[in-house]
Amino acid sequence: LGSRLTDAISNLSKTNVVDQEFVESILKEVCNALLASDVNVQLVVGLRKNIRAKINLAEIPQHSRKRAVHKAIFDELVALVDCKSEPFQPKKGKSNVIMMVGLQGSGKTTTCTKLAVWYQRRGFKTGLVCADTFRAGAFDQLKQNASKAQIPYYGSYTETDPVVVAKEGVQRLKKAGFDIIIVDTSGRHQQERELFTEMQQISAAVKPHQTIMILDASIGQAAESQSTAFKESSDFGAIIITKMDGHAKGGGAISAVAATNTPIAFIGTGEHNYDLEKFAPKSFIQKLLGMGDMEGLFDQIQTFNIDQKETMKHIQKGIFTLRDLRDNMTNIMKMGPLSKVAGMIPGMGQLANQLGSDGDTDYRMKRVLYIFDSMTEAELDSDGKILASEPSRIMRIAKGSGTSVKDVYDLLEQQKIMANMAKKMGGKNGMLNRMQQAK
């Protein structure tokens, strides 16, 4: 989905004249990209109608049209995934029970531990309950994941009634003063009455404060019926989309949100315990479109009178080095509320969300700066390609900075996004030059 949308958007930035014909052609591209990635047809039709209604070319001067079209598309895409409902806020010092539902293989068990880790890192005393007695080895899997993450758990090898295990587990963890108790349940390969009945019984027994449906990003068109069926039987209040790191087209996720009018709380982006990101509609769409709010960032830089002359010169030439990224980040740290500013940089919004606004943002940012500290001058002045092609350098940097190889690769990924952006913006025919001419 991402690459096709990015193409459509880059056509927008390349064009010189925005007329009705052009608007129609870009709308067509955007809609086809959505359809091809399994977004429900009716949704796409509605989206097209809304965007059209927002763009009244007769009222928009030529030089503002690009922006207007871009904004209309962006806003409507965001509206598709944004339910505007308040996210669930567990309270410390109280037992918050969270129940997971979903089909077999959707990623429930894996996500249980990820979520537990996420809350534990934020100071909640968190425990897991395995109420999957259907699948052999389910308890062992949860046990293994939980032990690795040092999360306490409860389960049984002998009790076969999931309702009994769920109730017993939640009771024990409540008594032991756990703030967050996450109940893993069994799935089936298909939507079966038996499964839905089981979910209702467990739900009645543990009275969850929040029920979350786990949805595999790759299920495509089936997302709608699956989420609707679960919604009816176990009225969930949030969705977690898993396997967003794979080749999933992701459109199913959008359809599920719309079909159930339920927000996505998190997305799973890998098999490891840290691969869980808080979902934020704007940055999700920004990422899909391959953009960050670059203009916002430039405004900010000017407002704060930050010395970014070198970087600006680079961008004008279509270049962006690791040193540019570092200087940007250092300056941004001076600009205050990180969660606000970081969202403007491509690739960083996601990072900011992941970190949350609860203080460890700065800690993580500092970690990233340590990575820069471990680079040589030549590496800093490069576009990062020599690093990506030499694993030994990555290892050296990870070790030197006390971070992980993945942290270093993540940083290089951000650098790549920025470099691509600079390439598009810079040069004679770049956006930047044309923006200046338009003024």
24 binds ligand GDP (CB under 6 A): no
113 binds Mg ion (CB under 5 A): no
242, interface contact from Mg ion, ligand GDP, none, CB < 5-8 Å by kind: ligand GDP
- The CA distance from 345 to 119, in Å, is 26
In the bound complex, what is the minimum distance in angstroms from residue 113's beta carbon to ligand GDP? 9
271 binds ligand GDP (CB under 6 A): yes
The region of 105-113, 255-263, 282-290, 359-367 touching ligand GDP under the rule CB under 6 A is 105-113
The region of 50-58, 87-95, 231-239, 242-250 touching ligand GDP under the rule CB under 6 A is 242-250
Helix (H, G, I), strand (E, B) or coil at 144: helix
Name the DSSP letter for residue 254.
H
**For ligand GDP, the closer CB: 273 or 283:** 273
328 binds Mg ion (CB under 5 A): no
Tell which one of 65, 108, 209, 314 touches ligand GDP (CB under 6 A).
108
268 binds ligand GDP (CB under 6 A): yes
192 binds ligand GDP (CB under 6 A): no
In the bound complex, what is the minimum distance in angstroms from residue 11's beta carbon to ligand GDP? 32
In the bound complex, what is the minimum distance in angstroms from residue 130's beta carbon to ligand GDP? 10
Q: Do the Cβ atoms of 419 and 294 come closer than 8 Å? A: no
Q: Which residues pair with 184 in a beta bridge?
A: 130
Q: Do the Cβ atoms of 257 and 263 come closer than 8 Å? A: yes
Q: Which of 354, 343, 362 is nearest to 300 (CA)?
A: 343
- The CA distance from 14 to 17, in Å, is 9
Q: Which of 115, 357, 325 is nearest to 212 (CA)?
A: 115
CA distances (Å), 255 to each of 74, 175, 249, 261, 263, in order? Answer: 17, 40, 12, 10, 11
In the bound complex, what is the minimum distance in angstroms from residue 209's beta carbon to Mg ion? 21
Tell which one of 187, 292, 346, 347 touches ligand GDP (CB under 6 A).
187
145 binds Mg ion (CB under 5 A): no
211 binds ligand GDP (CB under 6 A): no
In the bound complex, what is the minimum distance in angstroms from residue 245's beta carbon to ligand GDP? 5
Kindly list the residues in this chain that would bind ligand GDP in the complex (CB under 6 A).
Answer: 102, 104-110, 187, 214, 242-243, 245-246, 268-271, 275
Kindly list the residues in this chain that would bind Mg ion in the complex (CB under 5 A).
Answer: 108-109
